[in-house]
């Protein structure tokens, strides 16, 4: 090999040796960094031995929401190894955005967001992503341009809930000889996934079964507003067959308005359709005041714990986790309902079921 060839060979050898030293150093740093991160986290955990979680909750507008908060607080307790920072936003999106920013400032390990509405989250979720804090969306969904801004979502299929309720209602109407139905809807918070899904299900079902939707107004998922909206409907319409309420609190408000107007509840008067299957809602079903109540189970705190455990140990998680819902009625006169290709047995409400309700 000539001189230049020998020189080139030398350079190659030097480069190979230098390269392997660099790799070793980088790997070393990497290991040191890993060690350092683990040591740091170790120190933090040794010091507090807790995983910090910031939870931005919508508010306390309904029995469902209260139950959901209890579920998250129970799951993310100190005895389970968590330091939970719980923030109630009183149904204000800007409060939720402020809370997320404070979680980022505090350097929490994870953020859980129960979004009051679907839109308006891109900026603040980008800030969380830039801070390398995984965000888990709970209950309602977010609509963002970049899906990588959140790690996963846990909640119910709200459209399917509505289809279940309407499938039951169609069978119930037929059983009671009602060819046509005039329906008013008391909607939940405008733009909330639960409101959007349950509304679309009603509108699609009305087209399929030939029902007439007389009116749709916002009841904000609260009892007071639900009563107010039903009072407006009763003043405006004298041929209402069904009031379709986006949750139990609205339904309880509507029932009060119907009773105050000396109108009948049920197939001879106004049938009430509701969602959540809270303790109060199921009591109203057992009393014959709510005709059908489709569950929306808020008790998924332990599901989110499982997800965080997977993330903590570097394991993959799905983008969506669906919670299953039952269908409750006073009797099993309608034994089962279908939604798409799926079928559910109707659950008859008993005292025991009510007593065992966690929310
Ligand atoms: C549904 C949830 C809704 C409940 C209401 O998952 O978003 O919000 O149906 C609550 O009771 O206010």
Contacts (Cβ under 8 Å, ≥6 apart) of 259: 265
Compute, in degrees rounded to 10, the torsion defined by CA atoms 107, 111, 116, 119: 80
142 CB-side CA count, 13 A: 29
Q: Which of 64, 222, 281, 322 to mutate to test the pocket of ligand 1 (most atoms within 8 A of CB)?
A: 64
Q: What angle do CA 329, 333, 335 make, to 5 degrees?
A: 80
Q: Which of 139, 246, 295 to mutate to test the pocket of ligand 1 (most atoms within 8 A of CB)?
A: 139
DSSP run (H or E) holding 51 = strand 51-57
78-134: pLDDT as tens digits: 999 999 999 999 999 999 999 999 999 999 999 999 999 999 999 999 999 999 999
Strand partners, 342: 339
In angstroms, what is the span from residue 3 Cα to ligand 1's centroid?
80
In angstroms, what is the span from residue 322 Cα to ligand 1's centroid?
15
* 16 — pLDDT class (breaks 50, 70, 90): very low
* Phi/psi of residue 103, nearest 5 degrees: -60, -40
Is 6's pLDDT higher than 60?
no
Ligand 1 pocket, CB under 6 A: 61-62, 64-65, 139-140, 156, 192, 194, 221, 247, 275-276, 296
In angstroms, what is the span from residue 46 Cα to ligand 1's centroid?
38
Residue 156 CA: nearest ligand 1 atom is: 6
In angstroms, what is the span from residue 78 Cα to ligand 1's centroid?
27
Nearest CA to ligand 1 atom 6: 139
41-85: pLDDT as tens digits: 444 544 468 999 999 999 999 999 999 999 999 999 999 999 999
In angstroms, what is the span from residue 276 Cα to ligand 1's centroid?
7
287-323: pLDDT as tens digits: 999 999 999 999 999 999 999 999 999 999 999 999 9
The larger pLDDT score, comparing residue 30 to residue 333, is at: 333
In angstroms, what is the span from residue 192 Cα to ligand 1's centroid?
9
150-195: pLDDT as tens digits: 999 999 999 999 999 999 999 999 999 998 999 999 999 999 999 9
What mean pLDDT is predicted for residues 342-358?
A: 94
pLDDT of amino acid 179: 87
132-141: pLDDT as tens digits: 999 999 999 9
Give the other-Cβ count within 10 Å of 16's Cβ: 10
- At residue 86, the 3 state secondary structure works out as strand
d(CA 153, CA 330): 33
Query: How far, CA to CA in Å, does 97 sit from each of 55, 132, 194, 252?
Result: 12, 17, 20, 31
pLDDT of amino acid 48: 61
* 342 — pLDDT class (breaks 50, 70, 90): very high
pLDDT of amino acid 41: 41
Range among 17-21, 227-231, 338-342 with highest mean pLDDT value: 227-231
225-279: pLDDT as tens digits: 999 999 999 999 999 999 999 999 999 999 999 999 999 999 999 999 999 999 9
Residue 63 CA: nearest ligand 1 atom is: 11
In angstroms, what is the span from residue 297 Cα to ligand 1's centroid?
9
């Amino acid at each position: 090999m000539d001189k230049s060839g020998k020189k080139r060979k030398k350079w190659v050898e030097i480069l190979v040796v230098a390269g392997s030293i660099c790799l070793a150093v980088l790997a070393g740093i990497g290991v040191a960094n890993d060690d350092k991160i683990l040591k740091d986290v170790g120190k933090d955990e040794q010091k507090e031995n807790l995983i910090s979680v910031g939870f931005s909750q919508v508010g306390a507008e309904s029995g469902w929401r209260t139950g959901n908060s209890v579920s998250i607080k129970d799951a993310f307790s100190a005895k389970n190894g968590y330091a939970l920072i719980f923030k109630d936003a009183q149904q204000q999106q800007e409060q939720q955005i402020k809370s997320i920013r404070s979680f980022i400032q505090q350097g929490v390990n994870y953020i859980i967001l129960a979004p009051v509405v679907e839109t308006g989250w891109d900026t603040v979720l980008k800030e969380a992503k830039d801070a390398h804090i995984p965000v888990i969306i709970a209950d309602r969904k977010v609509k963002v341009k970049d899906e990588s801004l959140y790690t996963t979502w846990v909640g119910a299929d709200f459209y399917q809930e509505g289809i279940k309720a309407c499938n039951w209602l169609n069978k119930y109407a037929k059983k009671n000889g009602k060819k046509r139905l005039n329906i008013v809807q008391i909607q939940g918070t405008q733009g909330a996934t639960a409101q959007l899904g349950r509304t679309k299900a009603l509108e699609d079902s009305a087209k399929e079964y030939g029902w007439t939707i007389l009116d749709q107004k916002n009841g904000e998922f609260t009892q007071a507003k639900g009563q107010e909206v039903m009072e407006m409907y009763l003043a405006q319409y004298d041929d209402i067959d069904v009031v379709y309420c986006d949750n139990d609190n609205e339904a309880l408000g509507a029932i009060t308005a119907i009773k105050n107007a000396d109108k009948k509840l049920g197939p001879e008067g106004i049938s009430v359709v509701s969602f959540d299957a809270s303790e109060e809602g199921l009591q109203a079903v057992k009393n014959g005041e709510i005709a059908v109540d489709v569950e929306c189970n808020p008790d998924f705190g332990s599901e989110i714990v499982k997800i965080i455990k997977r993330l903590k140990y570097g394991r993959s998680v799905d983008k969506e986790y669906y919670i299953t819902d039952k269908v409750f009625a006073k009797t099993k006169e309608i034994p089962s309902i279908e939604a798409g290709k799926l079928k559910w047995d109707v659950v008859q409400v008993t005292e025991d079921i009510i007593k065992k309700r966690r929310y």
